[in-house]
Amino acid sequence: MEHLKFEDFYQENRDACLRAVLATTGDRQLAEDLVAEAFTRAWMSWRRVSRHPAPHAWIVRVALNTRVTWWRRRRHEVALTDHETVNPAMADGIDVDPTLLVALRRLPQRQREVVALRVFLDLDTETTARTLGIAPGTVTAHLSRAVATLRGDLATVNSQEGER
């Protein structure tokens, strides 16, 4: 019975979690790997995870924590490449505007995380704060700054496209 519940959860939440992680990482393949790893961990601990107040937020947080862990391991193994470059084609099939992804990559990491949880997963401020381990006021401040920056960046892009 629990496997069916997990399967339903996976089907209903995979794409939203992938969009949230993609918005944070800017790399489609990395986001897919991280989300797959996070869902695998959720499946292995489904009894505990299913009782979490926001299991989809748990998935995103685990994915982002896994990214840090992987990066720490790899930084000693290989020279870092410019892994932050966004390829506009990477959003194919997951319904995220490539222009938005490019603009998101310009935001500081914490602002990207807040946007991912508040906008892509539609979490409330309290749940976002608990997920990220920060104060609710900090979530609000990061979201406000991120929205202002994105609004400016996207307005600039739109005005440049209008001039063409």
The mean of the pLDDT values for the chain is 83
- pTM (predicted TM-score): 0.64
Considering its fold, how many domains does the chain have in total? 1
CATH number of domain containing 102: 1.20.140
For residue 92, the enclosing domain spans 2-163
SS (H, E, C) the chain: CHHHHHHHHHHHHHHHHHHHHHHHHCCHHHHHHHHHHHHHHHHHCHHHHCCCCCHHHHHHHHHHHHHHHHHHHHHCCCCCCCCCCCCHHHHCCCCCCHHHHHHHHCCCHHHHHHHHHHHHCCCCHHHHHHHHCCCHHHHHHHHHHHHHHHHHHHHHHHHHHHHC
pLDDT tens per residue, range 78-96:
444 444 444 444 444 566 7
pLDDT tens per residue, range 136-156:
999 999 999 999 998 888 888
The predicted pLDDT at position 100 comes to 83
